[in-house]
Structure 1
Amino acid sequence: MITGVILAGGLNRRMGGRLKALLPLQGQPLILRQLKEMSSICNQVIAVTNEPEVLRPYLSSVSNINVQCITDQYVQKGPLSGIHAASLIASEQHLWIVGCDMPFISAEAAKAMAILCKEANLDAVIPVLDGRVHPLHGIYSRLVGSEAEVLLKQEQYRLMGLLDHIDWKPVENGFFERQNIPIHFVTNVNTPEEFDRMSDNLP
């Protein structure tokens, strides 16, 4: 098993201030869609947010999985602070970290990456699809939290900067194609227009 982590601490400026985790998708908030997918391989899910009072009522409705809602210790410093906060309370050695704006997260993809991460004793396994690095929807060792804190104390807040300090392996299109895993799991939505287009194209 791995610990699922949903990073929901952004300011949602490009979404006009709407909380992306609660965008309605096929009749339910996006974060509940994510929790359903995570529950197949995670006994624990951590939602990192600066608005816990807003998310907790939704998270408490999920009964088959241990969902914890926490805040950043380094407030409004981006995904790096969320990774740090989650690593402090994660019950499992490896974390499956996603953004709250990703509607198609894949437990199958996460499981395949987690197996690789454990077998190769890596700090992280990150999708690199069509040449683009996707640090969210990655598998990370819980131990990277200490490296994240070092960077946060140095006021270095780029998530990509963390990859310069850990031992990670890219997994490219072929890795997922060989296992018949569709690669749209890295899709995210940042603007109302993107969300509307995605909603219109759902099966």
Structure 2
Amino acid sequence: MITGVILAGGLNRRMGGRLKALLPVHGQPLLLRQLKEMSSICEQVIVVTNEPEVLLPHIASFSDIDIQCITDHYVQKGPLSGIHAASQAAKEQLLWIVGCDMPLISAKAAGEMGQLCHEANVDAVIPVLEGRVHPLHGIYSRLVGSEAEVLLRQEKYRLMNLLDHIDWLPVENDFFEGQHIPANFVTNVNTPEEYENLLVNLPF
């Protein structure tokens, strides 16, 4: 099994301060849309946020799986601190890590990547689509949390720094095409314009 992790600790500056996790998509908060998708392959989902009091009422309405809402140990240090915190709370050996601003996450993609991570015995499996690395919507070993903490202590906060220190496997477009998985699962929304464009073009 895989523990799902939703990183929701950002300041949402580019979204004008609106919490991206709670943006409505087809009548429900984006966070609940993600929880529903994750629940098809995860028995545990961890939401990492520095505003648990805001998200908890919405999480409480979703009772299908074990959901934990935790805060960063290293506050406001980006996704790396979220990965570190989640690794300490996770029950499973593999983590499916996504950003809270990703409306099209794919359990099928995560499942295939998780199987590959297990078979290849690597620290992570990361999508590399059209030549671009997408460290979110990646599968990570829970053990990378210790490497994340080393970097955080060194004040090296970029998520890409983590990939420089672990053994990871890239999966490219042809891998997902072979599994009939659309590559749009890495889509994220950072600005009001991207959000409005999403609502107009949402495939489902």
**TM-score of the pair, normalised by structure 1:** 0.99
- Aligned residue number for residue 101 of structure 1: 101
What are the residue-to-residue correspondences of 1:54-133 with 2, within 5 Å? 54-133=54-133
SS at match of 2:180: coil
- Aligned residue number for residue 24 of structure 2: 24
CA–CA separation in structure 1 for the residues paired with 2:89 and 2:198? 34
CA–CA separation in structure 2 for the residues paired with 1:200 and 1:176? 25
Instruction: Give the gaps of 5 or more residues in structure 1.
Output: none
SS at match of 1:128: strand
Shift of 1:200: 1.1
Shift of 1:201: 1.3
- Aligned residue number for residue 160 of structure 2: 160
Which residue identity is paired with 2:146?
Answer: S
- The number of residue pairs the alignment matches comes to 203
CA–CA separation in structure 2 for the residues paired with 1:13 and 1:153? 25
Instruction: Give the gaps of 5 or more residues in structure 2.
Output: none
SS at match of 1:152: helix
| Alpha-carbon displacement from aligned partner over 1:78-111 (angstroms, at most 9, x marks no partner) | 0000000000010000000000000000000000
- Aligned residue number for residue 186 of structure 2: 186
CA–CA separation in structure 2 for the residues paired with 1:103 and 1:194? 12
Shift of 1:186: 0.1
SS at match of 2:14: helix
Cα-Cα RMSD = 0.5
Which residue identity is paired with 1:151?
Answer: L
SS at match of 1:3: strand
CA–CA separation in structure 2 for the residues paired with 1:94 and 1:202? 29
CA–CA separation in structure 2 for the residues paired with 1:174 and 1:107? 18
CA–CA separation in structure 2 for the residues paired with 1:104 and 1:160? 22
SS at match of 2:188: coil
The percentage of counterpart residues that share the same residue type is 79
SS at match of 1:76: coil
Which residue identity is paired with 1:114?
Answer: G
Which residue identity is paired with 2:49?
Answer: T
Shift of 1:202: 2.0
- Aligned residue number for residue 8 of structure 1: 8
CA–CA separation in structure 2 for the residues paired with 1:88 and 1:142? 8
CA–CA separation in structure 1 for the residues paired with 2:60 and 2:68? 9
CA–CA separation in structure 1 for the residues paired with 2:197 and 2:114? 31
SS at match of 1:140: strand
What are the residue-to-residue correspondences of 1:138-157 with 2, within 5 Å? 138-157=138-157
SS at match of 2:194: helix
**TM-score of the pair, normalised by structure 2:** 0.99
CA–CA separation in structure 2 for the residues paired with 1:54 and 1:198? 24
SS at match of 1:98: strand
1:44 equivalenced with 2:64 (yes/no)? no
